[in-house]
Chain A
Amino acid sequence: GAGVSQSPSNKVTEKGKDVELRCDPISGHTALYWYRQSLGQGLEFLIYFQGNSAPDKSGLPSDRFSAERTGGSVSTLTIQRTQQEDSAVYLCASIQLGWEDPRTGANVLTFGAGSRLTVL
């Protein structure tokens, strides 16, 4: 696609429920990142997928959080037994590793619009 697509854009759930957040990266981008941003805070790295390599899960805050990337494209972030402190905007980003824009030399991390999760 033309950009990184995330769904749902907004999700309100009750404490203890499971939620799934979806990210559809730019076609051909080999790397995909998930970040979490709580109100007024910076971007907190959660997990990183690169090609067929094992994902870097070092940023996941607890074992209630998991993510997968099927077929090297779409990724799903799952939060089990949600807690109120999980309320945040979850951002997905993708990048084509090893590539640079021929005009600018940049390799830009492209973000989606985010999924806003509210746990009541």
Chain B
Amino acid sequence: DAKTTQPPSMDCAEGRAANLPCNHSTISGNEYVYWYRQIHSQGPQYIIHGLKNNETNEMASLIITEDRKSSTLILPHATLRDTAVYYCIVMYSGGGADGLTFGKGTHLIIQP
């Protein structure tokens, strides 16, 4: 079973910030939170990751709660091309030690 839970779908208006939540209440101390997204049926692509500090890159920001039991991916100015399925997973530093389990993710739909 996936170690993360996400809402199945979300809508966001184009140009607004999209905030995608993820719960990972059983995360262990040395597990990172990784976010991927999948457009159509292409392979998922990496967006961002973090351990306990908030992170930002050219694609998105990641906010991790102090207890690390949940996180939020923020797309600051969503565009139509951001419509995709977003997956949140947890992974040990240096890579997964076992089968990395993806849940069903969140289908983000950007509305024009």
Contacts and interface: CB of A to CB of B under 8 A. Distances in A.
B99 A95 contact: no
A40 B18 CA distance: 22
B101 A45 contact: yes
Interface residues of A, number: 35
Nearest to A108: B46
B96 interface: yes
A114 interface: yes
Contact of B103 (A4, A42, A106): A42
Given A41-B104, A42-B105, A114-B42, A58 B49 contact: no
Interface string B30-54: 0000101000011111100100000
Contacts of A110: 43
A84 interface: no
Given A45-B101, A45-B102, A96 B43 contact: no
A99 B95 contact: yes
B43 A31 contact: no
Interface in A73-95: 89, 91, 93, 95
Given A43-B87, A47-B99, 4 more contacts: A96-B95, A100-B94, A107-B91, A113-B42
